[in-house]
Amino acid sequence: MLNRHARGFFTALFSPVARWLLRIGVSPDAVTVVGTLGVVIGALVFYPLGQLLWGTVFITAFIFSDVIDGIMARMQHRGGRWGNFLDSTLDRVADGALFAGLAVWFFTGGANPPIAVAAIVCLVLGMVVSYARAKAEALGFHANVGIAERAERLVSVLVVTGLTGLGLPVVVLFVTLCLLGAASLVTVIQRIVTVHRQSLEEPEGTATERSA
């Protein structure tokens, strides 16, 4: 939902930045890598230290690189498979670091194992959501459906985590993570059902080797 409705706004907002970066010789790939490193540092350094507010601020400063690199690639007419692969792979790294950082803090200094477990569940289900789509597309299906795509997951967890750092009761973060986990599970099921329906429409005799 956010991907569909916010893309135009953020494209207009960050296009001047993208043009400037291209003008000084920065490549879209470099922006992707630096943005991911920023998110990983914010999540795995600030969050485990209990700095939920400043960690969120730091991460937010880098998270928009995922928008900027795409704008830069389009400006250069370089929407190739390599850029798509790099972007998708590093997105998984950033997402994993985000939830892992929360889990580390709440298993240790935060002393709230239920939140830590909820963060791990979100991490795992978020990876399955992404994998389900990638595997479907690799097999020739489409699975771009669901109520919990990456943008929704990131916005919800970052906003509530930052507010928790400002004093919002931690139970709100716990409920948010539980809802996010449930939404991710529903998304996985939606994608499985979508691909299954498409598979039933395949001609008889079509078979694809299964692998782990």
* Catalytic site positions: 91
Residues 6 or more apart in contact with residue 38 via CB below 8 angstroms: 58, 59, 61, 62, 65
The Cα 13–Cα 16 span in angstroms is 7
Q: Which amino acid is at 61?
A: A
Among candidate residues 168, 163, 156, 167, the one with its CA nearest the CA of residue 118:
156
- Cβ atoms of 105 and 119 closer than 8 Å: no
**What is the rounded CA–CA span in Å between residue 167 and residue 164?**
5
CB 28 within 8 A of CB 78: yes
What values do phi and psi take at 26, rounded to 5?
-85, 135
